[in-house]
């Protein structure tokens, strides 16, 4: 095969389509000069809330802040514990630890790689909880690689046990579950606008979604150093979590073609799945939901060999996530060991991602598929 150069994610192709709209919106921001929390931020919040079907959208400085701020609002701290998955980016559990609370991990569903609801009961009543006198307060499911978690089962378990649910939709804005958009599940949801996300800006950014009026008011205060009636009236401890107006302007332009890009992503994923089925395993997308395919990840028993061969062919790859959170040095103090979460560890040892974006040409994709099938 003649070697080709292929992009893992192609943001330039997207920008070429909407460059004029982006520049027009950016010029408006430069003209009015409200660079932090300007009118475009309010416009974006209104549009994203409507898109997700949620009453309140509160933008913030990053996806990590979007996870942290609800925990601050709920007063999560030492002695509290939160259940989440060990197969995700560190920020999901990091925000729990930052507040002095304890992350509790539950293994993943080996078919979807999302949090397995069947594991929740075991974790809630584990010896780890009893021995440390922990008060389990909530669950943070992750919509991994673009597919929503099992919210019917998770929300039912949470209600039965008096727990809140914080949806980590950092990778899945725009996906659907039982006819509802992501960021509409649980008590509150968080997403990320990191550039590589399906709906990303040109810097850092995030948003929080909730139907709870009182919680939304708290979150808006926490976003600006716990502000009350004005910026020198601080009614609670908060953070500097404000969103840049320039980034809001970029996202407003991108929103115009977002649904089309989701359809294009699914077309790319369908071609991969049809061609690779039998040799490589990808996350199973359940019939009651859709994915926005933030990544197209597959498992291989010879990952190192596959990666080396694809590199020689000019096909970029990435690994999400090679080392589960329970085995990270940062969480060594929690006392987990290898073997504690077999489905997670099996996946982490074999997974890698191949190019996925809306503008992946069929000829490029055919080249990638030929490279994979050898």
Same domain, 27 and 49: yes
| Residues 291/269, Cβ–Cβ less than 8 Å | yes
pLDDT band, very low/low/confident/very high, at 277 (cuts 50, 70, 90):
confident
What are the backbone dihedrals phi and psi of residue 351, each rounded to the nearest 5 degrees, phi first? -80, 145
Total number of domains constituting the chain: 2
Same domain, 366 and 269: yes
Average pLDDT, the chain: 97
Question: Rounded CA gap, 126 and 153, in Å?
Answer: 19
Q: What stretch of H or E contains 181?
A: strand 180-181
Q: Quick one: pLDDT at residue 1?
A: 60
Shortest CA distance to 325 belongs to which of 314, 334, 316, 312?
334
Same domain, 205 and 98: yes
Q: Which residues are registered as beta bridge partners of 139?
A: 83, 165
Q: Quick one: pLDDT at residue 2?
A: 64
Same domain, 85 and 216: yes
Shortest CA distance to 10 belongs to which of 357, 363, 277, 255?
357
Same domain, 68 and 45: yes
Tokens encoding 80 = 């509290």
Same domain, 50 and 69: yes
Domain CATH for 86: 3.40.640.10
| Residues 256/242, Cβ–Cβ less than 8 Å | no
pLDDT tens digits for range 126-148: 999 999 999 999 999 999 999 99
296's CB contacts (< 8 A; 6+ apart) are: 145, 268, 269, 272, 282, 353, 354, 355, 356
Residue 215 lies in a domain: yes
pLDDT surpassing 90 at residue 4: no
Whats the size of the chain, residue-wise?
374
Same domain, 293 and 341: yes
Mean pLDDT of 339-346: 98
| Residues 47/54, Cβ–Cβ less than 8 Å | no
| Residues 202/220, Cβ–Cβ less than 8 Å | no
Mean pLDDT of 53-67: 98
Q: Which residues are registered as beta bridge partners of 191?
A: 207
Domain CATH for 320: 3.90.1150.10
Residue 292 lies in a domain: yes
pLDDT surpassing 90 at residue 299: yes
Shortest CA distance to 142 belongs to which of 173, 124, 165, 169?
169
Same domain, 307 and 239: no
Same domain, 306 and 246: no
Q: What stretch of H or E contains 343?
A: helix 342-348
Share in percent of the chain as helix, strand, coil (round to 5): 45, 15, 40
- Domain termination site, one of 204, 239, 255: 255
Residue 77 lies in a domain: yes
The domain containing residue 199 runs over which residues? 13-106+113-255
Shortest CA distance to 193 belongs to which of 310, 309, 64?
64
Q: Quick one: pLDDT at residue 99?
A: 98
Question: Rounded CA gap, 127 and 133, in Å?
Answer: 10
- Domain termination site, one of 224, 255, 286: 255
Vertex 10, ends 7 and 11: CA angle to 5°? 150
Same domain, 262 and 251: no
pLDDT tens digits for range 10-47: 999 999 999 999 999 999 999 999 999 999 999 999 99
Q: Quick one: pLDDT at residue 53?
A: 98
CA distances from 187 to 119, 125, 223 (A): 21, 22, 18
What are the backbone dihedrals phi and psi of residue 113, each rounded to the nearest 5 degrees, phi first? 70, 5
Question: Quick check: pTM over 0.95?
Answer: yes
- Domain termination site, one of 212, 237, 255: 255
Mean pLDDT of 66-92: 98
In the chain, % of residues over pLDDT 90: 97
Same domain, 126 and 186: yes
Residue 172 lies in a domain: yes
Same domain, 183 and 314: no
Question: Rounded CA gap, 192 and 123, in Å?
Answer: 28
Mean pLDDT of 262-290: 95
Tokens encoding 170 = 């950092």
Question: Rounded CA gap, 206 and 219, in Å?
Answer: 13
Shortest CA distance to 75 belongs to which of 238, 232, 240?
238
Residue 3 lies in a domain: no
């Amino acid at each position: 095969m003649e070697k080709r150069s292929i992009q893992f994610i192609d943001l330039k192709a997207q920008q070429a389509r909407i460059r004029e709209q982006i520049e027009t919106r950016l010029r408006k921001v430069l003209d009015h000069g409200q660079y932090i929390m300007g009118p475009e931020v309010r416009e974006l919040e209104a549009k994203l809330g409507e898109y997700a079907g949620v009453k309140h959208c509160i933008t913030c400085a990053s996806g990590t802040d979007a996870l942290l701020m609800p925990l601050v609002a709920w007063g999560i701290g030492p002695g509290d514990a939160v259940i989440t998955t060990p197969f995700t980016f560190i920020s999901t559990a990091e925000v729990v630890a930052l507040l002095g609370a304890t992350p509790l991990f539950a293994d993943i569903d080996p078919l979807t790689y999302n949090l397995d609801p069947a594991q929740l009961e075991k974790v809630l009543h584990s010896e780890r909880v009893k021995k440390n006198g922990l008060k389990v307060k909530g669950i943070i499911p992750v919509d991994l690689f673009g597919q929503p978690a099992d919210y019917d089962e998770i929300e039912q378990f949470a209600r039965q046990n008096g727990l809140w649910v914080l949806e980590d939709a950092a990778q899945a804005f725009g996906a659907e579950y039982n006819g509802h958009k992501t960021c509409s599940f649980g008590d509150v949801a968080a997403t990320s606008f990191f550039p590589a996300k399906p709906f990303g800006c040109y810097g850092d950014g995030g948003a929080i979604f909730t139907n709870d009026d009182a919680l939304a008011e708290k979150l808006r205060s926490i976003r600006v150093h716990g502000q009350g009636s004005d910026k020198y009236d601080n009614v609670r401890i908060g953070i500097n979590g404000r969103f840049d107006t320039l980034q809001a302007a970029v996202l407003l332009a991108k929103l115009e073609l977002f649904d089309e890009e989701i359809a294009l992503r699914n077309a790319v994923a369908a071609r991969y799945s049809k061609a690779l089925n039998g040799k490589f395993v990808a996350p199973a997308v359940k019939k009651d939901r859709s994915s926005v395919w933030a990544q197209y990840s597959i498992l291989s028993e010879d990952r190192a060999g596959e990666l080396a061969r694809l590199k020689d062919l000019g096909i970029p790859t990435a690994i999400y996530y090679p080392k589960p959170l329970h085995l990270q040095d940062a969480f060594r103090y929690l006392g987990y060991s290898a073997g504690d979460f077999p489905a997670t560890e099996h996946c982490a040892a074999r997974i890698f991602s191949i190019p996925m974006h809306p503008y992946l040409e069929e000829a490029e994709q055919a080249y990638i598929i030929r490279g994979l099938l050898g």
